[in-house]
Structure 1
Amino acid sequence: MDWIDELIREGTKNVDEVEVYYGEGTSVSADLKKRTVHLATNSVECGFGIRVIHKGRIGSSSSSNPGQWRECLAAAIASAKLATPQPWEGLPVPATLPEVPGSYDSSMKIEPECARDLLSRMLEGAEAHPAEVTSGSAGLSRVEVTLANSNGVRYTDRHTGVSLSLEAIQKQSTGYEFDHAWSLAMVDPVTVGERATFFAKSSSEGVDIETGDYDLLLSPLAYAELLGGVFVPALSGRSVHAKRSRLGEFLGKSVACEQVSMYDAPHMPGPGGCTAWDAEGTPTRRTDFVRDGVLQCFAYDLKTAYRYGKASTASAVRGGSNGLPSIGHHNFVVDGVRDTVDDARVLYVHNLVGAHTANPLSGDFSVELSNAFWMEGGEFTSPVRSAMFSGNVFDLHHGIAGMSRKSRTIGSLVLPSIKINQQHIIGK
């Protein structure tokens, strides 16, 4: 990494501060078309991004070729000269980082044979139910990232990942299941295949539901589609100060039931978002956004925090090694009072169709239920044909009647199933 130190030395001859974020990784993936491997890829990638700050003006540039760092640095400095100045109090300095659980599996082999084995095991599980596999995928990755700045920060971290998915169809009904984790030991490809064909086969036998009010149980997947597209973005300090968040006027006020809490847990063992430092080098910590139903704070990166006189919540993330930092989260957890939520008869919803169309400002949504079942005593009793569900994501959180004992990781969200009583469903 000598070139990074040289880059920083050269950069500070012309600007106040320099930051370099470098990543390199290896990945392999294989895709199914029906039951045959349709496409397999193996790639080795690297990239870096530079930020420079001079008198409050921020410039940036990126490249996938470290040998071009001089040209990239010149471009970042040139862009800073064109930028509008803003309040700036400096990049982080070296700090004693917290100890966090690892998210790196040293035994994981990033090889085509491993991806092929995962596909085979998913197809093995899919044999449990008479449905046709339409597509699937398996991928493995290893990445190492380094963050360095002109204040002396030099942090490096490694992560691994494995992801699986399978889709099946029976008549006109589809079923989908997936799994992802940072370790091979934490995924179950056989169950992924079995659940996908189970949902396809069972949903093909679904019966109509009458229009009316029902107690719903949203799976972690269904809940994630509403929460991740509406509620979580509304916690961004940037959205709040830009008047694009419905939660902007609710600081210190109730935004959910008393038993609901939401927090970012970057030191939580298990999920893959564990990290001791965010994408700008700020040491991470637990951040409570909602505690006992009351909104406590919003999420900030350095740029937004300095602009509005706030403190960073160590919420900076990057979409890639050459991407700029933005406000996000590491392991976003919804927690609260846990209990059995499926003893009494409920309408279980595994998936939602159209959740991406929810209005991020108002929170209004209208979605189609997918892979829905009547559930009682912890067991599926009968499948339900497609129906419509409309409502408001923000209002929905005031009506949560219960949370399942177990949670599931969906991307960077760690969520329970949630029970919501007396929701209007448009059916037959």
Structure 2
Amino acid sequence: MFDFAEKALKLALRNSEMAEVYIEREQTVEVQVQRDIIDFGKIESMTGVGIRVLKGGRMGFAYTSDPSNLQRAVKMATENLRLADPDENFGFSEPASYPTVKDIFDASFLELDVGEAASIAEVMVDKTLDEGCRPTSGGFSASMVETFILNSEGVEASSRSTGFSAYISVNAEKNRSRTTAYESDSSCSMDIDPEWIAGRACRIARDSLGGENVESGRVSAVLDYHAAAGLLGTFAAAFSADNVQRGRSILADRIGTEITSPDLSIYDDGTLGGGLGSSPFDGEGTPSQRTLLVADGVLEGYIHSIYTASKGSCESTGNGLRSYSDIPLVSTTNFVLEFGDEVSVDDFSGIYVTDVLGAHTANPISGDFSVEANNAFLVEGGEFTPVKKAMLSGNIFDLMKTVSSTDLERRQIGDFVTAPLIVEGIHVTG
């Protein structure tokens, strides 16, 4: 693949001062479930090439999903360069040593076929039926991604990683009452437990039957894994240096000030062993690293790409992420929350929220949100009472000043590595 990349680089340099070739090769095995039937299965392979060129401070970009169209993609990148405005902050990575990142590739993917993938999905379906619930949808997918980066500054980088994920949605019924629940899990290794996924979805669905109305007011809340990840998306975006520089982050000019509970430290770690967002390097060829963002509640810094680092007169943190069809954008890798102390769930009183609907509607700058609580429970004296329907509203930045951790295990949902969180003063509307 490097031979192909070298050919592309030579073509790109004919009409530019600097150039970069980004190649992404992906293989995917996927099956989908509709009700209790394996509805769909496929194996796909894809190779994409992204070309960036620099000349006179201008950057041009183009991509193709057909490597035979390489010359056309290079030509388009060069033409796009002429249309761009010059910016002195554009640049490419320079040669560097890359960290060894553990447990992000599982060779068992190489032996995986649709039949085995279907068997994993069937285990979830069978477990759901055994638990007295009905599956409504689900699926299992696995992928292997190989990445190659070559640029005119001398960078030659390659990596490969695997990802496995499964999910299921189920219905539970009793006395004309019906509830729905969802569970999923993802890993870089083939250690997905389909029985656990289906079993937990069914338990949540059954426990949600016979829900009661909840009184409106401000309460303490446990945000379970999916609920926490949903609301943390808005919070994490504020650490992007791009958002800071564009005036889209409430954390601008806040370094050295307290922004969360003093019990909390946060880091972004692209080198986390087994992390879903881990890699030896980012989408620009910058080495991945562990970046401290919050120390004991105090803001320490932001995450950067090469562009934002140049603009901010600092170093890239290895957070210029991309696919072959995009230019690098500042994004989190593995956003890890660490707490000094933990609170036992047995001692908690308030509302326990399994998941939320509508987190994407939160205001990305102010942090204000209003979401629907899915599979929520009132908790008192260790007793869980299902809630029929509830809306949650508040401000994520205010809530993070009150946040603490439960004593449950940490999981990774998307970019976020955390135990279920406890927040104070969230507004509940029944």
1:247 correspondence with 2:260: no
Distance (whole Å) between structure 1 residues aligned to residue 413 and residue 62 of structure 2:
32
Letter in 1 for 2:353: V
What's 1:210 paired with? 215
CA gap 1:107/1:376 in 2 versus in 1, 3 angstroms: farther
Letter in 2 for 1:394: F
Distance (whole Å) between structure 1 residues aligned to residue 385 and residue 123 of structure 2:
28
Of 182, 188, 191, the residue aligned with 2:193 is 188
User: Alignment partner of 2:7: what SS?
Assistant: helix
What's 1:101 paired with? 102
Distance (whole Å) between structure 1 residues aligned to residue 343 and residue 24 of structure 2:
43
What's 1:145 paired with? 147
Letter in 2 for 1:252: G
**Equivalent residue runs for 1:45-194 within 5 Å:** 45-88=46-89, 90-108=91-109, 109-170=111-172, 171-185=177-191, 187-194=192-199
User: Cα distance, 1:176 vs. partner?
Assistant: 0.4
- Answer whether contact 1:337 1:403 (CA < 8 A) is retained: no
CA gap 1:88/1:370 in 2 versus in 1, 3 angstroms: closer
Residue by residue, what CA displacement relative to the aligned partner does 1:81-125 show, whole Å, maximum 9, x if unpaired? 111111147422221212221311001233101211111111232
Distance (whole Å) between structure 2 residues aligned to residue 195 and residue 266 of structure 1:
29
What's 2:387 paired with? 384
What's 1:235 paired with? 239
User: Cα distance, 1:305 vs. partner?
Assistant: 2.2
Letter in 1 for 2:414: G
User: Cα distance, 1:222 vs. partner?
Assistant: 0.4
Distance (whole Å) between structure 2 residues aligned to residue 384 and residue 296 of structure 1:
39
Of 298, 309, 312, the residue aligned with 2:316 is 312
Task: Calculate the TM-score normalised by the size of structure 1.
Answer: 0.94
Unaligned runs of 5+ in 1: none
Unaligned runs of 5+ in 2: none
Aligned residues between the structures:
423
Distance (whole Å) between structure 2 residues aligned to residue 41 and residue 340 of structure 1:
45
Residue by residue, what CA displacement relative to the aligned partner does 1:20-51 show, whole Å, maximum 9, x if unpaired? 11011211211111001122222111111000
With 28-37 and 107-116 compared, the bigger mean Cα shift is at 107-116
- Answer whether contact 1:336 1:403 (CA < 8 A) is retained: no
User: Alignment partner of 1:398: what SS?
Assistant: coil
- Answer whether contact 2:405 2:419 (CA < 8 A) is retained: no
What's 1:198 paired with? 203
Residue by residue, what CA displacement relative to the aligned partner does 1:314-368 show, whole Å, maximum 9, x if unpaired? 11111x2332211112211111224243121432110112222111111111122
- Answer whether contact 1:305 1:311 (CA < 8 A) is retained: yes
Distance (whole Å) between structure 2 residues aligned to residue 401 and residue 74 of structure 1:
54
Distance (whole Å) between structure 2 residues aligned to residue 357 and residue 169 of structure 1:
26
Letter in 2 for 1:209: V
- Answer whether contact 1:389 1:425 (CA < 8 A) is retained: yes
Distance (whole Å) between structure 2 residues aligned to residue 426 and residue 89 of structure 1:
48
- Answer whether contact 1:338 1:405 (CA < 8 A) is retained: no
Letter in 2 for 1:11: A
Distance (whole Å) between structure 1 residues aligned to residue 398 and residue 152 of structure 2:
46
Distance (whole Å) between structure 2 residues aligned to residue 307 and residue 295 of structure 1:
20
- Answer whether contact 2:320 2:329 (CA < 8 A) is retained: yes
Residue by residue, what CA displacement relative to the aligned partner does 1:369-389 show, whole Å, maximum 9, x if unpaired? 111124468x66332222122
What's 1:344 paired with? 347
With 382-391 and 134-143 compared, the bigger mean Cα shift is at 382-391
What's 2:307 paired with? 303
What's 1:424 paired with? 427
- Answer whether contact 1:102 1:274 (CA < 8 A) is retained: no
Of 396, 412, 416, the residue aligned with 1:409 is 412
User: Alignment partner of 1:115: what SS?
Assistant: helix
Letter in 1 for 2:185: D
Letter in 2 for 1:388: M
- Answer whether contact 1:128 1:197 (CA < 8 A) is retained: no
- Answer whether contact 1:125 1:192 (CA < 8 A) is retained: no
User: Alignment partner of 2:286: what SS?
Assistant: coil
User: Cα distance, 1:227 vs. partner?
Assistant: 0.8
Of 239, 259, 263, the residue aligned with 1:259 is 263
**Equivalent residue runs for 1:253-292 within 5 Å:** 253-292=257-296
Of 300, 324, 327, the residue aligned with 1:324 is 327
- Answer whether contact 1:341 1:419 (CA < 8 A) is retained: no
User: Alignment partner of 2:107: what SS?
Assistant: coil
- Answer whether contact 2:90 2:307 (CA < 8 A) is retained: no
What's 1:10 paired with? 11
- Answer whether contact 1:126 1:195 (CA < 8 A) is retained: no
Distance (whole Å) between structure 2 residues aligned to residue 51 and residue 421 of structure 1:
47
Task: Calculate the TM-score normalised by the size of structure 2.
Answer: 0.94
CA gap 1:89/1:24 in 2 versus in 1, 3 angstroms: closer
Letter in 2 for 1:74: K
What's 1:219 paired with? 224
- Answer whether contact 1:355 1:366 (CA < 8 A) is retained: yes
User: Alignment partner of 2:11: what SS?
Assistant: helix
Residue identity over aligned pairs, in percent, reads 32
Distance (whole Å) between structure 2 residues aligned to residue 128 and residue 374 of structure 1:
28
Distance (whole Å) between structure 1 residues aligned to residue 226 and residue 207 of structure 2:
18
